Amino acid sequence: MNYNYIAPYYDLLSRICFLNRQQIAHKIILKYLKANDKILWLGGGSGWFLEEINELNILVEIDYVELSTVMINKAKTRNHSNLKVNFYKEDIFKFETNQNYNIVITAFIFDHFSASDCEVLFTKFNPNLIIEGKWFCVEFNENQNLIQRFLTKSMVVFFNLIAGIKTKDFPKIDHLFNDFNLIEEKQYFWNYIQSKVYKK
């Protein structure tokens, strides 16, 4: 999987295709962030959301893991002067940490992988999330109408070609959080995009 080719255009395409709803869907996590939180951000992309967190004017530490060189270089240019950000250009499946985190962020990450890989990813990092920590997950809704299914299939084909993702469909992941409490959920773009905040 390699987003280097599409990285210069990804944010613009996302804003146009989903009427900025992918970006808005991130924002419900902001009210849950507290000073001195330690955050694990898996697949952070271009880092535009760093600037939203920065505007809270609280010091949090973020381990920011992203495989794409172009994406992570863009993220480094974002204004994050109020934050401590540790950038890791690394495959999230190979990233190793012994840190404990208050927050884990996965935004449109699980949909890149098969259901079995999603389970591996979740199992890998769940132990690093402290008890009562929060896992913020933004993904496409598992329950889709015909138009949404067509859009999903089209996106999968596009990203198979452009970024080399291997999945043939978006995986179902809700069951991974069966032992968590869902404390907030919001839907966007005619219920196609969903934001969920889970508490461990």
CB 34 within 8 A of CB 59: no
pLDDT of residue 148: 67
Residue 124 to residues 23, 112, 119, 128, 129, Cα–Cα distance (Å): 27, 17, 8, 8, 10
Pairing type for strands 101-107 and 193-199 reads unpaired
Domain 7-199's class? Answer: alpha beta
User: What is the model's pTM?
Assistant: 0.87
116-171 pLDDT tens trace: 999 999 999 999 999 999 999 998 877 777 876 777 666 666 656 665 566 666 78
Query: Which pair of tokens denotes residue 191?
Result: 């219920």
Spans of all domains in the chain = 7-199
31-73 pLDDT tens trace: 999 999 999 999 998 999 999 999 999 999 999 999 999 999 9
Residue 184 to residues 32, 71, 116, 172, 198, Cα–Cα distance (Å): 11, 29, 26, 19, 7
pLDDT tier at 15, thresholds 50, 70, 90:
low
